[in-house]
Structure 1
Amino acid sequence: MDSVTEIKEIWKAQKDVIDSRLKEFKKLWEEGSEEEIFAELAFCLLTPQSKATICWRAVENLRDSGVLWFGNVESITDYLKGVRFKYTKAQNIVRARNFFTINGKLKIRETLSQFSDPQDMRDFLVRNVRGMGYKEASHFLRNAGLGEDLAILDRHILKNLLRLGVIDEIPKGLTKRRYLEIEERMRVFSRTIGIPMAHLDLVLWYRQTGMVFK
């Protein structure tokens, strides 16, 4: 079975699960609380060079304890078991929480709603949230139901794009220009094989990890 056929087979088998997950993401933005949206933001700040499942477990514990909303850097760090660079990432969570807090209340939805284009939202996040590059900002927007046409270029996705011939090599670093270039190649590939971008990301993640996650 060639790689494209395999991708299509996975999509066919997992399409209902993927549709359900994407609906959950949209529901978060439409009906979720600001605190729930911030939990997703914190998760995406934790994921670089760390396992997504471990990061989400840490966020759940932070959320359930209330430390995510009120804790300082040190208390948040205590919850980041198994997360790499945990002190720096705890600092980034506190900075993001402060940035999005207006008159004592989290206002992520209101802040981002000033932009109609998810790519403009992404640029805003990259400029203003420390620890959030294009991958992390794309991840958050997709998980908040806003970035279905954005690429989340983590190591799993890049490895698969290489195997599929979408890219010629895995770049050592991703400048904005290189990120957008690979993202556009992924969009073209997505259209060519008839699998929507948001679905393709989760299909490739499934291919690498054996699960549809976040």
Structure 2
Amino acid sequence: MSKPKICTPTPIIKKDIKKAIEGYSKVWESEESIFEEMCFCILTPQSSAKQADKVIKQLKEKNLLEKGTAKEKEPYCKNVRFFRTKAKRLEEAQQKFPKNKLKKILIENGLPLNPLKAREFLVKEVNGYGLKEASHFLRNIGFGKEIAILDRHILKNLVKCKVIESVPKNLSKKTYLEIEEKMKGFCKRNKIPFNELDLIFWSNETGEVFK
């Protein structure tokens, strides 16, 4: 059986995907970048990655990413939905996971050897994180080889590839983990690196690779 067309990136996109994944692995070397990615993934639920990225850049420009109150952050968070709630979550994250302690906290809770353990910790401890957001964060800091970012975009493509029959109405933890395993099997059968599949789906629809 041949590989589905939507799982086959163009040579240029394939090069961009490899470059993106190499970039993720370098994030782990920088405490500032790790904290930035944690905040980015707090902002992404029900908002586009590009809009969340704009917010991060605005907060950094105003020196409000690593400090400041939720009220101070709010004016620069309006590109994303539920910006007041997310501004509060950013303030909570900076207090609970200070930039200079975050990497140590992650190491104490599974990284780099056990990303699945780290994901459980993040879901429990980071306000605003579910399995999808925790997985997105871990992928963006270089630990995406074992975990799937199951947003609606990915799920729809998994339906097209006949990995799942339909997009589930409610993505419980049990369902999430079951689909993640099916996705791993699909990647193995088609010789697709597991941490590349979501980027392949995204790039084939948009023509670009974005985190």
TM range (shorter): over 0.9
Number of aligned positions between the proteins? 207
What 5-or-longer segments of structure 1 have no aligned partner? none
Percent identity of equivalent pairs: 43
Preserved contact between residue 3 and residue 163 of structure 1 (Cα < 8 Å):
no
Preserved contact between residue 106 and residue 118 of structure 2 (Cα < 8 Å):
yes
1:82-122 C-alpha deviation (Å, 9 max, x unpaired): 20011111111111111113xxx631111111213100000
Partner of residue 109, structure 1: 103
Determine helix, strand or coil for the equivalent of 2:146. coil
Pairwise CA distance, 1:180: 0.4
Determine helix, strand or coil for the equivalent of 1:67. coil
2:139 to 118, 138, 142: 142
1:118-139 C-alpha deviation (Å, 9 max, x unpaired): 0000000000011000000000
Distance 2:197 2:78 in 1: 31
What 5-or-longer segments of structure 2 have no aligned partner? none
Bigger drift between 203-212 and 10-19 goes to: 10-19
Q: Is residue 55 of structure 1 aligned with residue 52 of structure 2?
A: yes
Determine helix, strand or coil for the equivalent of 1:166. coil
Q: Is residue 24 of structure 1 aligned with residue 38 of structure 2?
A: no
Pairwise CA distance, 1:43: 0.6
Determine helix, strand or coil for the equivalent of 2:147. coil
- The one-letter code sitting in structure 1 at the alignment partner of 2:76 is Y
Preserved contact between residue 22 and residue 145 of structure 1 (Cα < 8 Å):
yes
Compute the RMSD of aligned alpha carbons: 1.5
Distance 2:34 2:186 in 1: 30
Pairwise CA distance, 1:64: 2.2
Preserved contact between residue 3 and residue 164 of structure 1 (Cα < 8 Å):
no
Shift of the 6–160 alpha-carbon distance from structure 1 to 2, 3 Å rule, reads: closer
Q: Is residue 168 of structure 1 aligned with residue 127 of structure 2?
A: no
Shift of the 190–125 alpha-carbon distance from structure 1 to 2, 3 Å rule, reads: same
Pairwise CA distance, 1:172: 1.3
Determine helix, strand or coil for the equivalent of 2:76. coil
Q: What is the correspondence of 1:47-196 to structure 2 with a 5 Å cutoff?
A: 47-101=44-98, 106-114=100-108, 115=110, 116-196=113-193
Give structure 1 regions of 4+ aligned residues with deviation exceeding 4 angstroms: none
1:7-36 C-alpha deviation (Å, 9 max, x unpaired): 22x15442211111111110110x21x222
TM-score (norm 2): 0.93
Preserved contact between residue 67 and residue 94 of structure 2 (Cα < 8 Å):
no
Distance 1:97 1:208 in 2: 35
- The one-letter code sitting in structure 1 at the alignment partner of 2:4 is V
Distance 2:11 2:115 in 1: 28
Determine helix, strand or coil for the equivalent of 1:107. helix
Distance 1:11 1:123 in 2: 35
